[in-house]
Amino acid sequence: MGNFLGIDASTQSMTGLVINTSSAQIIAEESVNFDEYYAEKYGVENGVLDAGNGVVHSPPLMWAEALEALLRQLRESGINLASIEAVSGSGQQHGTVYLNQSAAGVLGGLRSDLSLTDQLNGVFSRPTAPVWMDTSTRVQCDEIETGVGGRQRLLELTGNTAFERFSGTQIRKFAQQEPAAYERTTTICLVSSFVASLLAGRVVPVDAGDGSGTNLMDIGQQRWSQDALAATAPDLGQRLLPIIKADSIVGSISPYWVDRYGFNPTCNVLPFSGDNPCSLIGLGLVEPGKLALSLGTSDTFFACMDKVRISSTGEGALFASPDGVHYMALICFLNGSLAREAVRDQYNLDWEGFAAGLRQTNPGNDEGLMLPYFDAEIVPHVATPGVIRQNLDPHNAAANVRAVIEAQALSSRIHAEWMGVNVQSISVTGGASANAEILQVFADVHDCEVQQFQTTNAAALGAALRASHGHMTALGTPVTWPQTVSDFSRPLPGSDIQPRAQTVTLYDERLEAYRDLEARHT
């Protein structure tokens, strides 16, 4: 019991969240926005350097500087950093940081009278880090898939097909285009393990949750795949530390942070993980059958699974859960609020008018269906945008409102079938989660309880909960994951929505009509 710090190194900001497990409260949350603090110094916009042609990087020195600024903010907000028992964190997934042979010595000998940026300037073999927004590696994707024996082989081996944003393709491109700099690289970190290394004062390995997002890890064995490494870059295995268990203790926090910011020298550092796997913990998804749906610009479906299951079409991403037991499936539907807002605006509605459209129409929409591809879609793969309507009057605003929501719910059920999950509940976050009419459609389509979940930062919260769980385990007083998350993952009071049996049956029938329509147009 005590205070635990979770740090989220995201694309646009560095956030710190402190929980007190005795009171079951979030007692502090601070954030450093990269554009606000560092746009002029590092030249970033929206946290990144966009060089065009799909090349998107960020400067690791900026992340180091932001970490110091964040801890100053937490201290100035009244948090006694000496009270922090343990720290863990999350990082934007897939990004890679390239260190030379001087890095280990510099990290181990950090001087508290100098800033991190003063001391780290010479440790990088590559001054910038490609991040998840980088789409410049299509050629390398094809080469890696060929190198391991085909797309299906890579999918079975790592849980994912080759993605442009994943770490392996970025490493291959670097080795091909800058062989001398690659040769000088002694260690490759992910964003998560790089920030953890700054706190630990030594290079920290990657955990299985973040390792899953590299196209380099054997998803079943949870260790680097020799076949994937060989297909990616020369001697790559020598540049990667072995995968570490997410619940292990890396060590005590570096004396740098004790002397400079007042941390207790006994404060434990745990491995960081990816932002998506940490969000799984922050949303309380530590038991199979629990799902979460984030209703954002894109809609993202998270699920906790009991074993490795792979989408035969490669539509979903598969990660190891940082709970060390389960797996995480993630599906991203690009036309989320993008599609909802397009319908709203097309009929000159506000959100209350949108909700009224759902109330004014019947479930099943009198057999009217829509494929809401207002933009190119990720799942299912649709390269050319275009809205398809069947038995649906384009001039009927209310019917089109219902059509877009039913399409999103039916599509989420169809494309989650590969998970093999017996859905018990769905926690919904994001702006549209406040709309009870939308949640009712998802409850009826999935035949499960749906509840609104409000969290400031699920990734940072998940990291703090991981710090707590790992610390208690190290003390020899382990608690279960459900016990760890229960006080911090409760739905908003009164937000539970139950499925309606008659409507569930109706949607079971409409599911096949939607599946047929989608198959004919994708």
**pLDDT tens digits, one per residue of 308-325:** 999 888 888 999 999 999
Checking if the pLDDT of 335 tops 90, the result is yes
Rounded mean pLDDT of 156-171?
96
Share of the chain above pLDDT 70, in %: 100
- For the chain, the first-to-last Cα distance in angstroms comes to 52
In a 13 Å sphere around the CA of 184, the CA atoms on its Cβ side amount to 15
Residue 491 has pLDDT above 90, yes or no: no
Say if residue 24's pLDDT is above 80: yes
Residue 468 · residue 410 · CB < 8 Å: no
Mean pLDDT across 328-348: 95
Alpha-carbon gap, residue 372 to 511, rounded angstroms: 16
CB of 466 within 8 A of CB of 246? yes
Q: Does the pLDDT at position 433 exceed 70?
A: yes
Token pair of 308 as six digits:
């490795």
pLDDT at position 35 is 97
Contact 275, 8 (CB under 8 A): yes
Select from 3.30.300.30, 3.30.420.40, 3.30.2320.50, 3.40.50.970 the CATH code of 284-454+492-522: 3.30.420.40
Confidence of residue 492 (pLDDT cuts 50, 70, 90): confident
**Mean pLDDT of the 73-87 span:** 98
Mean pLDDT of 435-463: 92
Q: Give me the pLDDT at residue 189, please.
A: 99
- Reading the block at residue 209, the tokens are 């949750």
Residue with tokens 């042609």: 53
* Residue 332 CB neighbours (<10 A): 18
The average confidence (pLDDT) of the chain is: 96
Distance CA 181, CA 28 (A): 41
Is it the case that residue 431 has pLDDT exceeding 90?
Answer: no
SS3 of 140, please? Answer: helix
Range scoring the smallest mean pLDDT among 33-37, 132-136, 396-400: 132-136
- Which pLDDT score is estimated for 504? 98
Q: Each residue of 51-63: pLDDT tens digit?
A: 999 999 999 999 9
Sole residue written with tokens 């989408």: 311
Among 195-199, 223-227, 376-380, 406-410, the minimum mean pLDDT is found in 376-380
Fill in the amino acid letter for 44. Answer: V
| Confidence at residue 453, expressed as pLDDT on a 0 to 100 scale | 83
Q: Please check whether residue 323 is in contact with residue 281, taking contact to mean a CB–CB distance below 8 angstroms.
A: yes
pTM: 0.91
pLDDT of res. 456? 64
Residues of the chain with CATH 3.30.420.40: 3-277, 284-454+492-522
Q: For 216-235, what is the mean pLDDT?
A: 98
Local confidence band at 222 (pLDDT 50, 70, 90 cut-offs)? very high
pLDDT at 454 over 80: no
* CB distance 70 to 457 below 8 Å: no
Q: Is the pLDDT higher at 490 or at 364? A: 364
What span, in angstroms and rounded, lies between the C-alpha atoms of 217 and 243?
9
**Nearest Cα to 462, choosing from 69, 17, 71?**
17
What SS3 class is residue 25? strand
Cα–Cα distances (Å) from 170 to 135, 138, 164, 197, 279, in that order, read 9, 10, 7, 21, 24
State the pLDDT at residue 349. Answer: 98
The token duo for 122 is: 């010479």
User: Closest Cα partner for 450 from 234, 340, 295, 238?
Assistant: 295
User: If DSSP codes are grouped into helix, strand and coil, which group holds residue 120?
Assistant: helix
- Give the pLDDT confidence score for residue 277 in this predicted structure: 95
| Pairing, β 84-91 against β 268-269 | parallel
The fourth-level CATH superfamily of domain 3-277 is: ATPase, nucleotide binding domain (3.30.420.40)
> What mean pLDDT is predicted for residues 481-503?
93
